[in-house]
Chains A and B, each alone.
Chain A
Amino acid sequence: MESWRCHVRTELIQRDSSQKDPYSGVFRSLFQLQEKFEIRKEIWEDLQSQSLEQDGITFVELHLWLRESEHLSKKLSQTVSDLTSVLYFKEAELQYWQSQVSRYRREALSLAGGSNTLKATLNQQEFTLERQAKELAALQKEHVRLREGMVEAWKEKGELLQRWMEEKKEEAARVNKYNDAQERWRRLARRLKKQLRGETVKPSELTETDVTSGGKEATFK
């Protein structure tokens, strides 16, 4: 039991043991004596007014006994009626608790139904989660593989670029070499033309044809 609940119960018992219990017995006795005194006083007054003389004390005693019995029987009938009403309330209480039990039973059943549905949904969700986890793992693997492929491709691309640059460099050197040769040929031709102009015989066409065929060969190399 929670400590606060226990504390309340203990305090109530202590309260009654200091306030109610020491006095209830005394007060009850006092009340009963007062009641008895009232009855006897009433009877005494009745008897005095009737001024009965025959059999004196015996009659008075009998009368007292009768009135006290009447009073007791009245009290007993009151107790019986109280007990009957208590019984009635207990029956009503029993019915109430039975209705509460059936209410809680219904509630428990509906909660159990709800719990089953939730369990089924949970299982389904777990299954979906597992499937998605597997898919994710496969995708992650694929991702790693593609990444590696990409790294490889980048490396290859770099190498190819390097090769292409070198090729271009070589090509530029070849073009430069060819251009130099061309330049030399042109200069040589100019010189030869000058020499030729100075002479009377001009075999210039033949010489030019030879120079041109020599340039084409350099390009193919």
Chain B
Amino acid sequence: MNSTMSRSILALLSGAVFAVGLGVAGMLNPANVRGFLDILGEWKPALMFVMAGAIAVYAIANQMLWRMKKPLLDADWNHLPRPGFDFPMQAKLGAVLFGVGWGMAGFCPGPAIVSLASLNPSVVIFTAAMLAGFYIFAVYERFKHARAR
């Protein structure tokens, strides 16, 4: 089996495990997510526990990187982003916009895509608009780069 294929199958497995994790964690229920953001109402801390569990496992994996010359299925680290503090104003504004949309609907990108499997019309509308948002930003970036040239 060539390694492009093995990397793709690993990606599929990772995506499926992620979906099951979101389900177990209760994060496919927008009411739980919204509940975490509703600090002045009936606050639901679940999302904090989800992040704690996920960060704990991932921090261990990240420690393993130091002992590895390359990933198990690839020749290099694919320009893995370097941890750092650079975060320009535009990116901060992006995080604000994301937070507002997240609070409005109780969906962030992961649960929105996984929940497409429910065929719930509200999910389909939200996720279609989110994908459109991805595309709108891609067009904006391409336009900006074309003008800069």
A binds B: no
